[in-house]
Amino acid sequence: MRKLVLALLVVIALAIYPLVVTNHFFLHLSIMALMYALLGMSWNLLGGYTGQISFGHAAFFGTGAYTSTILLLRYGISPWLGMLVGAVFAVLLSLPLGWLTFRLRGPYFALSTLAFAEVVRVIVYNWDSLTGGGDGLNILADLGGIVRFYYIILTLTVAGVLVMRGCVRSRWGYFLNAIREDEDAAEALGVPATRMKLIVLAISAFFVALAGSFFASYQLYINPDLVYESQISIQMIVVTIVGGIGTLEGPVVGALVIVPLSEYFRGLSPVANPLIYGLFIVIFMMFLPEGIVSRIRSLLGRRAPAVAEEHKQVGAGV
Amino acid sequence: MKLISLIQAVVNGLLVGSLYSVIAIGLTIIFGVMRVINMAHGELIMLGMYVAFWVFTLLKLGQVAALLISLPLFLVLGAGMYGGMVNRVERRAGEMGTLLVTAGVSYLVANAAQLVWKADYRSLPAALTTRSWFVGGISFNYSLMWAFLAAVMLTAATYLFLIYTDAGRAIRATAQDREAAALMGVQIHRTNMMAFALGTALAGMAGVLLTPVFYVYPYVGRVFLIKAFVVVVLGGMGSVLGASLGGLLFGVVESVASLFISSGYRDAVGLVIFLLVLLFKPSGLFGRSRF
Amino acid sequence: MKIRLLRAACLAALLCIPLLNAFAGPPAEAKGEPILIGTIQPMSGPYAAFGVKFYQAYNMAADEINAAGGIKGRPIQIVFEDSQDKMDLAQTATRKLVENPKIVALMGGRLSGAGLAIAQVAEREHIPYLVDHPSADVITKSGFQWTCRLNPASSFNSVPLQKFLKEYAKDIKTVAVLYENSVYGKGVTEPFKTWLGQNGYQIVVSELYPPLSLDYRDLLNKVKAQNPDLLFLAGNIPDSALIIRQSKELGLTPKMISGAGAGFSINEFIEQAGDAANTVFSTGPWSGNPKDPKVQALAEKFYKRFGHYPKEHEAEGYAAIYVMADALRRAKSLSRSDIHDALLATNLQTTFGPVKFDTFEGYTNQNNGLKNGQVVLSQWQNRRLYNVWPEDVSEGKPQYPGTYK
């Protein structure tokens, strides 16, 4: 009950935030933070909860971005509708990806997702007539002010949280944990591992694509390097690791920490920004692999609720 | 398609492929022994390239000097990376942890290099790098030939090390069966460190050999990392023989494929091979049985 | 350990970054508060060499103008923002400049894609943008009101080469075309390919390559297999130099190799490609009429100060500053919209030729001062770039067929 009240307060605070804070820069930061929280959460569902570390989520981000943009530029379809179409495409894309790669485990899986995302990027890059190739696509239309974008991403993120929560705090949560801990044992006990993994991948892809479409409409310019780069995948991962892999709040906290820092450094030098990501991954993996949220939890001596022991470390043990 | 073009493609492929082999051998040793996928391997190559570049530009010394400097430099770097970071992360967060932390290092090092050395593309003077011999209409780039020879020698040296020295045998034993090796008295921790150091040194030296052939810039590592993974998987993760032959094979396939497909898709060739191998024969050409 | 040292070095380097922000223009003779003009150039990254050219040219022109009293006593000052020739960074850099109310106009861009990105921001934010180098047609074919372009559009680039093929190198029949996958590469090459098709030439190879690839041997091997008479290349450095070097290495010897400006018409090209670049042609924007004494004087001045002769980039940048200064003088006030009006009304003779912005054939505010002119075919001879065609602006005889052994 207490948690519910707290959550409601947070949502209300976030909702009235733009009415109070009008500085465009801070709004921009919040938008980015919310977007990365959404991205991190989506990745976390597959990575932290189900134990499948993917380096290829950029493929879904880019698919969302390009789909909605192409639909807008060629057919005049509203990007908000295009967003949904993009998300559906991403889900469709995730099916062959899952089918191809889920038979692999651990590092093999991670590498294959990386390769898959790269293949998608190369195709998009070369499919000049559809995607504008290396030059990317420019959106010349006016899609609304910064406040509108804030509310859209807030809605998407809240929706994401609710969906993630629903997945995790249910029977599914147990299944995912089981798969992460020991997939063979889980299967032996009757957990439909491959099916669960595909479902989780699809959900993950759906939200990542939504974020991608959002990003395209917000930035008004995309190109293959911007939205398909492995950097996007890495950023999702960093946010989650810093916040707490395998926790619900983790990616949100991680985004709140990382995004302002990275935007500040981006202002200093275009290079300092990705440097921060690298630095954070290294430092956290060395000293705080369970992430901020999990550490705070264990410091407070609090145990997570019965379902989905959220403070498990990443693939602990050999 | 003219025969001579095909032969030229094969020649180019073999020459460049030998360098892929050296890179891949380093990566596969690290994986074979420790089950660690070193995502930062590409950046180690990049550092090797910069070492050669600065040795030439500032010290006015050639590649041999650069190789001699790199060997101890990268051995120490590798040992340090392992002892200071990889080891710790592996204990706390397992396989996935090392995957993630090396990915982080990769990002860190590439961007730090950009910060320090600027994003400019460097290369050695054209006079040194474009000389080539023509034999029957086929062009053999001078620098590539030298790199090929050096790569062959490095590969041979690595083999000899692995087969005839105690340390080398320890590495192979650990790769085959960690527990059994430990039971036989092999110091696993020390062996891991040696393997990591060896892999790192091979990457750095490969970088030195690559400098006259390719442009040097902070993100060049990424390109080679992907190729190295393709070769490692193709040859069989953990197999040094697989990595050496796989590198040559991959180089040839890339070059010959370029004759038939649009240049934009050239990079996709490797990726497609990679995915196909992972799907249909994940143990690669030689699997893990042979080292 | 090495990693810690590396980290310490990074931190130290990071702390030095604010110091780099002192990239504003040099001190000026004219007193008074400086008038700020913003420009987005690649100051770092693989295309940094181009940014340097504009840096030199802009500052030289600004120094001269300021020494002569500036604009009604106020000096002009150029504010540089680094785009690394990346489109998203160009956009961010532009927004940053636009948000500074002291910046009255924008210039530059360098890469065609960046130019387009800047033009869009300029159109949205109502700030005048003078294009001096980005050449893609689309920049002045999109109906932008706030953008005007001094240099020729990229479809003009290959015109001198076309004339040369028709009037001089009439024995060329087969053509191989290699161009980079970018707005510039496509913008320069597509019109040329169309012209080739319409005039009975056979295109034996046409490849759109990803820029900044590490190795072009396989691509060139493919070209060699087809044995073309003419090899047409559209790319920037370092690709241009690498392609020429590897082409020599592979023994590719067509009758003629021609670039299309950009990476083929600058000093860095000859520096990086060395002797392999001898007798390579380049078709693209000129650097002013070589027979014009003012242009010759500028060339010597430039050489004395910077150690190399100005080519298309420097000429464009230098002239652009003069155009901007002229507009600033004529403008009713220094508000962005008044400057915009003054710019559009420009009718000025510069060292880049006449500048007058016109609307014609689908172009808006495109300089058409010389009616499809201001482009020339030049050739590298003895490590210098000489205009060779058309004859009325040539500085020497073309060496055809070229010797590429």
Strand order through the sheet with C353-360: C76-82, C35-41, C103-108, C129-131, C147-149, C363-367, C353-360, C347-350
Give pLDDT, residue A29.
Answer: 83
Tokens 């397992």 found at: B94
A317 reaches B (C-beta below 8 A): yes
Structure tokens given for C181: 């996958």
Q: Is the pLDDT of residue C3 over 60?
A: no
Q: Which chains touch A (3 or more CB pairs under 8 A)?
A: B, C
Please give the full DSSP string across C292-359, using - where no structure is assigned.
Answer: -HHHHHHHHHHHHHHSS---HHHHHHHHHHHHHHHHHHHSSSSSHHHHHHHHHT-EEEEBTEEEEEEE
What average pLDDT score do residues C77-99 get?
A: 83
Domain ranges across chain C: 2-155+292-367, 156-288+374-393
Helices within chain A (DSSP H only): 2-20, 24-44, 58-75, 79-101, 106-126, 128-131, 146-168, 171-181, 183-188, 193-219, 224-228, 230-243, 250-268, 272-287, 291-299
Segment 213-272 of chain A within 8 Å of chain C by CB: 219-221, 223, 226, 268-270, 272
* Band (C6; pLDDT cuts 50, 70, 90): low
Residue B287 within any structural domain of the chain: no
Task: Compute, in degrees rounded to 10, the torsion defined by CA atoms A284, A286, A290, A296.
Answer: -70
Same fold, C2-155+292-367 and C156-288+374-393: yes
Tokens 């590592």 found at: B221
Range with lowest mean pLDDT among A211-215, B282-286, C144-148: B282-286
C42 reaches A (C-beta below 8 A): no
8 A C-beta contact, residue C404 and residue C279: yes
Q: Tell me whether residues B263 and C218 touch, CB distance under 8 A.
A: yes
**What residue type is A208 in one-letter code?**
V
Give pLDDT, residue C189.
Answer: 93
Domain ranges across chain A: 28-299
pLDDT-above-90 percentage for chain A: 19
* Band (A271; pLDDT cuts 50, 70, 90): low
Query: What residue in B sits closest to A268 (Cα-Cα)?
Result: B115
8 A C-beta contact, residue C49 and residue C241: no
pLDDT tens digits for range C276-301: 889 999 998 888 778 888 888 888 88
Neighboring chain C residues of A272 at a CB cutoff of 8 Å: 14, 17
Q: Is the pLDDT of residue C27 over 80?
A: no
Q: Is the pLDDT of residue C28 over 60?
A: no
Give pLDDT, residue B119.
Answer: 72
Residue C385 CA to residue C312 CA, distance in Å, equals: 11
Residue A164 CA to residue A177 CA, distance in Å, equals: 14
A133 reaches C (C-beta below 8 A): yes
Q: Is the pLDDT of residue C110 over 80?
A: yes
Give pLDDT, residue A222.
Answer: 83
Range with lowest mean pLDDT among A69-73, C48-52, C56-60, C73-77: C48-52
Neighboring chain C residues of B127 at a CB cutoff of 8 Å: 274-275
Q: Is the pLDDT of residue A308 over 50?
A: no
Q: Chains A and B: how many Cβ contacts under 8 Å?
A: 135
Q: CA–CA distance from C87 to each of A128, A142, C358 (Å)?
A: 17, 19, 27
Residue B17 within any structural domain of the chain: yes
User: Helix (H, G, I), strand (E, B), or coil: what is residue B171?
Assistant: helix
Q: Tell me whether residues B107 and A277 touch, CB distance under 8 A.
A: yes
| Closest CA–CA distance from residue C399 to any residue of chain A (Å) | 36
Q: Which of C204, C249, C244 is nearest to B12 (CA)?
A: C249
8 A C-beta contact, residue C269 and residue C296: no
User: Helix (H, G, I), strand (E, B), or coil: what is residue C127?
Assistant: coil
Please give the full DSSP string across C40-62, using - where no structure is assigned.
Answer: EE--SSTTHHHHHHHHHHHHHHH
Range with lowest mean pLDDT among A259-263, B213-217, C303-307: A259-263
Structure tokens given for B158: 């690595």
Segment 271-300 of chain A within 8 Å of chain C by CB: 272, 275, 279
Q: Which of B130, A53, B83, A152 is nearest to C248 (CA)?
A: B130
Task: Compute, in degrees rounded to 10, the torsion defined by CA atoms A260, A264, A265, A270.
Answer: 110
- Say if domain C156-288+374-393 classifies as CATH 3.40.50.2300: yes
In this complex, the residue of C87, C89, C208 whose CB is nearest that of residue A270 is C89
Give pLDDT, residue C25.
Answer: 36
Residue C388 CA to residue C379 CA, distance in Å, equals: 7
* Band (C26; pLDDT cuts 50, 70, 90): very low
C225 reaches B (C-beta below 8 A): yes
Residue C78 CA to residue C59 CA, distance in Å, equals: 8
Spatial neighbors of A19 by CB under 8 A, at least 6 apart, are none
Task: Compute, in degrees rounded to 10, the torsion defined by CA atoms C167, C173, C176, C177.
Answer: 40
pLDDT-above-70 percentage for chain A: 92
Q: Is the pLDDT of residue A201 over 80?
A: yes
Residue B17 CA to residue B9 CA, distance in Å, equals: 11
The Cα diameter of chain C in Å comes to 67
Residue B148 CA to residue C3 CA, distance in Å, equals: 31
Q: Which of A151, A180, C179 is nearest to B95 (CA)?
A: A180
ipTM score: 0.82
pLDDT tens digits for range C186-227: 889 999 999 999 999 999 999 988 888 888 888 999 999 899
B107 reaches C (C-beta below 8 A): no
More confident residue, A139 or B3: B3
Please give the residue range of the domain that contains residue B54: 3-117+139-280
The backbone torsions φ and ψ at residue A207, rounded to the nearest 5 degrees and listed phi first, read: -75, -35
Q: Which of A179, B139, A128 is nearest to C220 (CA)?
A: B139
Query: What residue in C sits closest to B260 (Cα-Cα)?
Result: C222
8 A C-beta contact, residue C283 and residue C261: yes
Give pLDDT, residue A313.
Answer: 42
In whole numbers, what is the pLDDT of chain C averaged over residues? 84
What average pLDDT score do residues A91-117 get?
A: 85
CB-based burial, C59-81: b 16+ in 10 Å, e otherwise: bbbbbbbbeeebbeebbbbbbbb
What pTM was estimated for this model as a whole?
0.82
User: Helix (H, G, I), strand (E, B), or coil: what is residue A271?
Assistant: coil
Residue A183 CA to residue A50 CA, distance in Å, equals: 9
Range with lowest mean pLDDT among A60-69, A265-274, B82-91, C317-326: A265-274
In this complex, the residue of B84, B120, B258 whose CB is nearest that of residue C48 is B120
* Band (C176; pLDDT cuts 50, 70, 90): very high
| Closest CA–CA distance from residue A135 to any residue of chain C (Å) | 6
Give pLDDT, residue C9.
Answer: 54
Q: Tell me whether residues C211 and A134 touch, CB distance under 8 A.
A: yes
What average pLDDT score do residues B264-272 get?
A: 84
Tokens 């960046």 found at: C114
Q: Tell me whether residues B119 and C222 touch, CB distance under 8 A.
A: no
Residue C271 CA to residue C384 CA, distance in Å, equals: 11
Q: Which chains touch B (3 or more CB pairs under 8 A)?
A: A, C
Neighboring chain A residues of C117 at a CB cutoff of 8 Å: 138, 221
**What residue type is B134 in one-letter code?**
F
Give pLDDT, residue A38.
Answer: 94
Neighboring chain B residues of A237 at a CB cutoff of 8 Å: 100, 103
Segment 29-68 of chain A within 8 Å of chain B by CB: 51, 53, 55
Query: What residue in A sits closest to C116 (Cα-Cα)?
Result: A138
Range with lowest mean pLDDT among B18-22, B58-62, C176-180: B58-62
Residue C42 CA to residue C84 CA, distance in Å, equals: 4
Neighboring chain C residues of B49 at a CB cutoff of 8 Å: none
Give pLDDT, residue B249.
Answer: 92
B274 reaches A (C-beta below 8 A): yes
Query: What residue in A sits closest to B82 (Cα-Cα)?
Result: A286
pLDDT tens digits for range B171-220: 888 888 888 888 888 888 888 899 999 999 999 999 999 888 888 888 88
pLDDT tens digits for range A114-123: 888 888 888 8
How far does Cα B26 stand from its chain's mean position? 6
* Band (C24; pLDDT cuts 50, 70, 90): very low
Q: Tell me whether residues B126 and C241 touch, CB distance under 8 A.
A: yes
Between vectors from CA B24 to CA B20 and to CA B26, what angle results, nearest 5°? 130
8 A C-beta contact, residue C104 and residue C334: yes
Q: Is the pLDDT of residue C174 over 90?
A: yes
Residue A283 CA to residue A241 CA, distance in Å, equals: 10
Between vectors from CA C269 to CA C263 and to CA C273, what angle results, nearest 5°? 130
8 A C-beta contact, residue B176 and residue B51: no
- Which helix (H) or strand (E) element contains residue B279? helix B266-280
Highest mean pLDDT: which of A241-245, A288-292, B218-222, C204-208?
A: C204-208
pLDDT tens digits for range C354-404: 888 888 887 888 888 776 678 889 999 988 888 888 888 888 888 888 888
8 A C-beta contact, residue C208 and residue A128: yes
Topology of domain A28-299, CATH: ABC transporter involved in vitamin B12 uptake, BtuC (1.10.3470)
Beta strand C375-381 with C281-285 is antiparallel
* Structural domains in chain B (count): 1
8 A C-beta contact, residue C276 and residue B130: yes
Query: What residue in C sits closest to B257 (Cα-Cα)?
Result: C218
| Closest CA–CA distance from residue C79 to any residue of chain A (Å) | 16
Most C CBs within 10 Å, among A128, A138, A273, to test the C interface: A138
* Band (C4; pLDDT cuts 50, 70, 90): low
* Band (C30; pLDDT cuts 50, 70, 90): low
Neighboring chain B residues of A123 at a CB cutoff of 8 Å: 268
Structure tokens given for B150: 């050096």
Q: Tell me whether residues B267 and A122 touch, CB distance under 8 A.
A: yes
pLDDT tens digits for range C227-274: 999 999 999 888 898 899 889 888 888 999 999 988 898 888 888 888
Say which CATH number the domain at B206 has.
1.10.3470
CATH superfamily of C2-155+292-367: Response regulator (3.40.50.2300)
User: Helix (H, G, I), strand (E, B), or coil: what is residue A282?
Assistant: helix
Taking residue C20's Cβ as centre, other Cβ atoms within 10 Å add up to 12
Q: Tell me whether residues A268 and C17 touch, CB distance under 8 A.
A: yes
Give pLDDT, residue C135.
Answer: 85
More confident residue, B119 or A26: A26
**Phi-psi group of C379: left, alpha or beta (phi > 0 → left; psi -120 to 50 → alpha; rest → beta):** beta
Q: Is the pLDDT of residue A180 over 70?
A: yes
8 A C-beta contact, residue A224 and residue A134: yes
More confident residue, C46 or A115: A115
Q: Tell me whether residues C218 and B2 touch, CB distance under 8 A.
A: no
| Closest CA–CA distance from residue C344 to any residue of chain B (Å) | 37
What average pLDDT score do residues A224-236 get?
A: 79
Give pLDDT, residue C1.
Answer: 53
pLDDT-above-70 percentage for chain C: 92
